[in-house]
Amino acid sequence: MTHETSPGESWIDETLHDDFRFRIKVQRVLHESRTEHQHLIIFDNETFGRTMMLDGVVQLCERDEFIYHEMMAHVPLFALGSPRNALIVGGGDGGVLREVLKHRSIERATLCEIDRSVIDLCSEHFPFISNGAFDDDRSQIVISDGTKFVAETAERFDVILVDSTDPIGPGKVLFTREFYADCARCLKPGGVLVTQNGLPFVQGPELEQSLGHFKSLFKDAWAYLITTPSYVGGPMALGWASDDTALRQVDLGELAARFARSDIQMRCYSPDVHAGAFALPGYVRRLVEGAA
């Protein structure tokens, strides 16, 4: 997967999009293998730090991971106020789990990851991402297909966070109506589902499809935006679904009070950023509102 452009210099292409690609310089490959489910490579890059790609797609970069992980976890958790039980589908690097566990109200955080090798390799090469989260007494790690887990579990969750790859390979089933319907069944009344839904500018149909499923299953379906530099192609959409129509419009003053009480140190998330993330530019709003 790496390309030598001159003696001693290697680059790797991200191959997610049909019409454009970008190339990242590889300073040193730390690991490359084909797991039971996907091709995995971990390497160092001067700008982004330690980087992991799955099936030719950037999944994790040391220098900007905090943006994605903070915004996926804390927007729904601060909206809820005092969540007790969280489910993370995917997220084998442990970053979302790390952020979820910062909330003192959390009694149990279940992480369901299909590929054990992702957890093992991230624990070896990115220990600063999980930062001990896998060993927290409140963490429950389940190695299973996320669709199977939500279809069969008797547990109910305040929040479900789908930290998935794009809809290719093993992540494809995490974008179906059947999966979202099972997530809806697993939520407590007033709970919230948040999903990784790609870059609306170049992956608009993906967001539109998920929002269409959300609208058929939940009273409130929307999205919020984050900007993570290593995900090239514009801001990323995180899907939002809940039967509590007021949940994504919590008063800014109340968010600020909850944030202050938490005493959590952030590098990206803040109450202002939380509120502003739901204000969608026209081209994204049309995808969300037009979804059916």
Tell me the catalytic residues.
163
Taken as a whole, the chain contains a residue count of 292
Across the beta sheet with 108-113, what order do the strands follow? 139-143, 108-113, 85-90, 157-163, 187-196, 236-242, 220-226
The two structure tokens encoding residue 160? 């479900």
Could you give the residue ranges of the DSSP H alpha helices within 36-125? 65-80, 95-100, 116-125
Cross-strand partners of 40: 33, 54
Question: How far apart (Å, rounded) are the C-alpha atoms in residues 170 and 237?
Answer: 20
DSSP 92: T
The two structure tokens encoding residue 230? 């290593």
Radius of gyration over every alpha carbon of the chain, rounded to an integer in angstroms: 18
The two structure tokens encoding residue 43? 């390497």
How buried is residue 219: exposed, middle or buried, by Cβ count under 10 Å (0-12/13-18/19+)? exposed
